[in-house]
Amino acid sequence: MSDRSPLALPFPPAPAIPGATPHIARARYKAWDRCDLTFVMLDPGTTVAGVLTQSKCPSPEVEWCRAALTLGTARALVVNAGNSNAFTGNRGRAAVEAIAARTAAHLGCQPSDVFVASTGVIGVPLPIDKAEAGLDAAFAAAPCSWEDAAATIMTTDTFTKGATTTAVIGDRTVTLVGIVKGSGMIAPDMATMLGFIFTDAAVEPAFLQAALSAANAPSFSCITVDSDTSTSDTVLAFATGKAGNVALSDDDSVGADAFRAALADLCHQLAMLVVRDGEGATKLIEVRVTGADSDLSAHRIAKSIANSPLVKTAIAGEDANWGRVVMAVGKAGEPAERDKLAIRFGDTQVAEGGLAVTGYDEAPVTAHLKGKEIEVGVDLGLGEGRATVWTCDLTHGYISINADYRS
């Protein structure tokens, strides 16, 4: 594991979720001395929803989950770290089928009730013998904490990532816990990285899917580390129903708004943790775009800024080079008028009306860029469209991590 990110946050106290029991084991997918297989046993009656990568080269695990999600029920989650099993043809598909079959036999359920995710190197088939031995060890292992499970799904991550929140549904308080991994190959095109959410709320599958999809849009789909969308991106939400509330079935259900808000908050917390652990990151950057032609246009412009290596390296070097922001706006392919454009860093306006502000003083901008949390604001002056995207700076650390990734 790389040195801990300077932007790291501690793992929060995460309560047990009745009906969801995590276990970990060593399958030894890589030559490392750590657990790399996570098995979460889910009680009968658990519902599931998910958002998955839109990559045209998805892993067999993504394809398996996409098919299984149509049924809306789950009994287990199996996550492998160190090998993404992507771009592995029939051997990769056979590995997923073997994992699902062995887990289903252990639980006495259908293979389609088993959800599988993998993360790590692309192009190396997942060894079935290691997977099955790892599963047997996980089946026999004592339950573990959510932080242990979060540590087990990591690859280049430098700290464990988790979040928790609650919601009141009728006369019941329900709990939500999420764990996530992600540090590089982060540019969501639906979701990003691997994220797993567990709640004791009773939620019907269709509403759970609607709530997760809505929560994903302003959270996981608004972060980027390096503009690279993974073949394996998966976010799954499991609802065990053990809280005893009247099941949420639609937006008219009692507590539906509270559950949606809690899920959105949890997803935002998890997404921010991923950006904080961007490979080599030293600064968390918020890019806020207003005055665009539409919200979609604003989002595309914000992503253009957030993904620009020139913008990211300037911020890494604490260089108040706002011309790079102008460049990123102009290349986005979205409606923009030079002479209406305004740019700020933090609270300091640096440019408006197509040129630097009168009496521009770079000193407060430089002071802002020396911090760990940076805000870049752009106003297009065209309409009401707005969007916020989060990213991190680009440092030599990113190159070092990825140049050595397979060794």
Catalytic residues: 192
Q: In what order do the strands lie in the sheet with 172-181?
A: 47-52, 234-239, 194-199, 172-181, 161-169
Q: Is 362 annotated as a binding residue?
A: no
Give the bridge partners for 203, in sequence order.
Answer: 248
Q: Where are the beta strands (DSSP E) in 254-346?
A: 284-292, 342-345
Which SS3 state, helix, strand or coil, does residue 137 take?
Answer: helix
The helix/strand/coil state of 105 is: helix
Q: What span, in angstroms and rounded, lies between the C-alpha atoms of 200 and 207?
A: 15
What residues contact 194, with CB distance under 8 A and at least 6 apart?
79, 117, 119, 153, 180, 181, 182, 232, 233, 234, 235
Q: Find out whether 130 is annotated in a ligand binding site.
A: no
- Residues whose CB is less than 8 angstroms from the CB of residue 378 and which lie 6 or more positions away in sequence, other chains included: 287, 288, 289, 290, 301, 302, 305, 325, 329, 341, 342, 343, 344
Tell whether 192 is in a known binding site.
yes
CB 94 within 8 A of CB 127: no
- Give the max Cα distance, the chain: 73
Structure tokens at 130: 């290691």
Query: What are the backbone dihedrals phi and psi of residue 140, each rounded to the nearest 5 degrees, phi first?
Result: -90, -10
Q: Which amino acid is at 49?
A: A
**Directed axis angle between helix 128-140 and helix 89-107, to 10°?**
20
**Residue 379: enclosing H or E segment and its boundaries?**
strand 373-379
DSSP state of 75: S
CB 299 within 8 A of CB 378: no
Give the other-Cβ count within 10 Å of 407's Cβ.
4
Strand pairing class (172-181; 161-169): antiparallel
340 is in an annotated binding site: no
Residue 7 contacts residue 372 (beta carbons within 8 Å): yes
* Binding site members for substrate: 155, 181, 192, 279, 402, 407
* Binding site members: 155, 181, 192, 279, 402, 407
